[in-house]
Chains A and B, each alone.
Chain A
Amino acid sequence: MKPLDNKRPGRAVDQLESWGRYPRVPARLFRPERMRDFHAGEGPSLARGLGRSYGDAALLTDGDVVLSERLDRCLEFNPEAGVLRAEAGLSLDALIRAFVPQGWFVPVTPGTAFCTLGGCVAANVHGKNHHRDGSFRQGVTSLEMLSADGSVRDLTPADGDDFEFAFGGMGLTGMIREVELQLRPITTSMMMVKHSVAGNLPELMAQMDDEARDDHYSVAWVDLLARGERAGRGVLMTGHHAEINELPMRYAAHPETLLTDRPGRARPFPFEAPTWLLSPGNLRLFNSMYHKWQGRKGTFFTPLRTFFHPLDAIRNWNRMYGKPGFVQYQFVVPFESGREAVTEAISRLNAAQASSFLAVLKRMGASDGGPLSFPMPGYTLALDIPLREGVIDLLNNLDALVADHGGRVYLAKDSALRPDTFRRMYPDWERFVNHKRQVDPDGRWQSDLARRLELV
């Protein structure tokens, strides 16, 4: 029934923030519970999933932000083929919960499961299997999109740019209503993982490039604080979905537990941390211990959730960086200049004492999706930087370095890039802007990111 009181005013908030908690902007929030109410507001509008992008990609100052989280229904599922059609607000967390027991996993997952299908398309997210399987785009067979003119279109790869530009389109080409996804078959919910230690960056990269060591999933943790000969030391973590016959007998003895999802109870980060907690001394100590501890593990079995989404076990871990918030900086540089660029970036970060203990290095495979899609062949490095004075200058300085090496930064994590540097990083930007003008001539879909990068 239509509610008797049909004026749903939305909720005005002063400080809408995303995962990095910087920036914070005023906006009007809407949270439709029926698909027909999932549309633009009166003025500039933006669809937002679970707000797990870091910077301003899901923010719209003084605009209408439409939350998709209540539109999370699974609509069609073919249990033979593993093809799922669901509403854009479905989270990977809910998807994994429902489908792992049935023997299916998401084709690509970022480091958190608290993101929506719509958000995964908009940012064309990648995971630890990017070097083999590509980005989220590769798993998607069809999209339903609400265009700026109010029409609803079912899009497939045959629709060319209308389909492709949604991937990495940051929600600026239309509102994604439904996503059809090819799931990945699994026979167990365990991962077979191998950790190997590398004493410095060249060694780590060599291990990563070594095909004999490679596996379906691969990522490296890097100690950015180690200096001298140990600079860039790290642990390469590779793995694949364990097959039943790979598991030790103690697992096989209980076949009913082979496909289970144990997300565990997420523990909250208890307080907004004081800034001294992440002092360089403390971080160096942590990294030393972590390097030893992780390196010692060798080959082992671990549940899916622990392998893919370790930080999801701590709700609000973003509070660890205290009140000012933080930025996550992620860039990719082509293989040719990769070592040089990564080394230089690390040394600039160290010189600025922009401490970070979560630095992740990975090889990326082929590009796909639209012109603003992030992944491209090369090395990608991601790290957290607590927000302090001078951080934005440091980021702009790093942006220039990345652009000089023919690389780019990840827009879903960005909050500092300038339009001129952006254009150097994404040379096809003009195709995107032209497409946007064509499908959204009045600039209905906007975001603070789009405004900052002069895309609208």
Chain B
Amino acid sequence: MTPLALETKGSVLVVGATSPIARAAAAEFARQGYAVILAARDKDELDRIAADLRIRSRVEVTLLPYDADLKGSGTRLAEIALELEPPLAGAVWVVGDLGDQERAQEDVTHAKAIVRRNFTGAIDVFTPIANAFEARGAGFLIAVGSVAGDRGRAKNYVYGAAKAALHAFMSGMRQRLDRKGVRVRVVKPGFVDTAMTFAMGPLPLLASPDKVGQAVARAATGKKDEIYTPGPWRWIMLIIRHLPERVFKKTNI
């Protein structure tokens, strides 16, 4: 609809694009001058979000299907995204699903689905893109993790374990690729005001998805490798991570 400026900064792939965090991140990338590629399974929602971005942010939007539960979906997504014009400048993993911890304790299939949606899906998407970025010597990869990945808690340890694995995966890629000019970032939100937390009632340090989405998009250019959002979570998690296990196991944190 609006003609794209001839000089673009390239495009950014947002995976899991129908979440409120992803939507805000996409709008922020658009504001920074990137074209955006939105990938998700829910076609109706994807169309609505794309229309909104085109109208409000006046940005070029490409839609691609992605389903973390389908074998090969992530690899195919990465291949297509790498061939699109303008060339891919970065990729963001915003897929996440808290699942049902109690069910995961009984039902291993459910536990594995949680891991797939929070972690192993990212391997499929990021691996080919990371290799392309490495060869090119430029690009950024951002994953939305969680403070829940900083320490396993009884309330959500399957989710937490998947997020912890995601953090470690990104950290390893960072050590490998940072020297090649590829920025690898992790954004760890605390409680975000979305459907995931809405029923829980008022929560401490509750962040709006807009704020978190903006933090995600700004991570691409910022200096920090790991970003806690809102900021105070860095200190809260510092304390929680350092509680001795013999103390931690007796708490209900």
CB within 8 Å of B: which residues of A? 1, 3-5, 8-11, 29, 31-36, 70, 73-77, 84, 87, 98
B114: chain A residues within 8 A (beta carbon): 4
B71 within 8 A of A: no
Interface residues on chain B, size class: 20 to 34
A29 to B69, CA, bound (A): 31
A31 to B68, CA, bound (A): 25
- Report the nearest B residue to A36, measured CB to CB: B44
Closest 9 pairs (CB-CB, A-B): A73-B52, A5-B100, A74-B55, A4-B99, A77-B55, A73-B48, A98-B56, A74-B52, A75-B51
9 A-B residue contacts at CB 8 Å?
A4-B110, A4-B113, A4-B114, A5-B99, A8-B199, A11-B199, A33-B194, A75-B52, A75-B55
- Within the complex, the shortest CB–CB distance from A125 to chain B, in Å, comes to 23
B97: chain A residues within 8 A (beta carbon): 1, 3-5
Which residues of chain B (35-65) have a CB below 8 Å from chain A? Answer: 40-42, 44-45, 48-49, 51-52, 55-56
A1: chain B residues within 8 A (beta carbon): 40-42, 67-69, 95, 97, 117
- Within the complex, the shortest CB–CB distance from B56 to chain A, in Å, comes to 5
B139 within 8 A of A: no
Q: Is the CB of B44 within 8 A of A35?
A: yes
A16 to B201, CA, bound (A): 13
Q: Is the CB of A5 within 8 A of B103?
A: yes
Q: Is the CB of B20 within 8 A of A35?
A: no
Q: Is the CB of A8 within 8 A of B48?
A: no
B198: chain A residues within 8 A (beta carbon): 8, 10-11, 29, 31
The one of A4, A8, A11, A34 that contacts B45, using a Cβ cutoff of 8 Å: A34
B253 within 8 A of A: no
- Report the nearest A residue to B23, measured CB to CB: A73
Q: List 14 other contacts, CB 8 Å, given A33-B194, A76-B55.
A: A1-B40, A1-B68, A1-B97, A4-B97, A4-B113, A4-B117, A11-B199, A11-B200, A33-B19, A34-B18, A34-B44, A36-B44, A70-B20, A98-B55
A74 to B54, CA, bound (A): 9
B195 within 8 A of A: yes
The one of B19, B98, B199 that contacts A9, using a Cβ cutoff of 8 Å: B199
A75: chain B residues within 8 A (beta carbon): 48, 51-52, 55
A286 to B184, CA, bound (A): 58
A76 to B55, CA, bound (A): 7
A84 to B51, CA, bound (A): 12
- Report the nearest A residue to B198, measured CB to CB: A31
Q: Is the CB of A35 within 8 A of B45?
A: yes
B201: chain A residues within 8 A (beta carbon): 11
A74 to B42, CA, bound (A): 18
- Within the complex, the shortest CB–CB distance from A444 to chain B, in Å, comes to 22
- Within the complex, the shortest CB–CB distance from A319 to chain B, in Å, comes to 18
- Within the complex, the shortest CB–CB distance from A299 to chain B, in Å, comes to 35
Interface centre among B40, B49, B67, B199 (most CB of A within 10 A): B199
A145 to B81, CA, bound (A): 37
Q: Is the CB of B98 within 8 A of A5?
A: yes
A209 to B194, CA, bound (A): 50
A29: chain B residues within 8 A (beta carbon): 198
- Report the nearest B residue to A76, measured CB to CB: B51
A452 to B225, CA, bound (A): 57
- Within the complex, the shortest CB–CB distance from B100 to chain A, in Å, comes to 4
B41: chain A residues within 8 A (beta carbon): 1
- Within the complex, the shortest CB–CB distance from A82 to chain B, in Å, comes to 12
A76 to B48, CA, bound (A): 9
B194: chain A residues within 8 A (beta carbon): 33
B19: chain A residues within 8 A (beta carbon): 33
A5: chain B residues within 8 A (beta carbon): 97-100, 103
- Report the nearest B residue to A31, measured CB to CB: B198
A29 to B195, CA, bound (A): 12
A33: chain B residues within 8 A (beta carbon): 19-20, 194-195
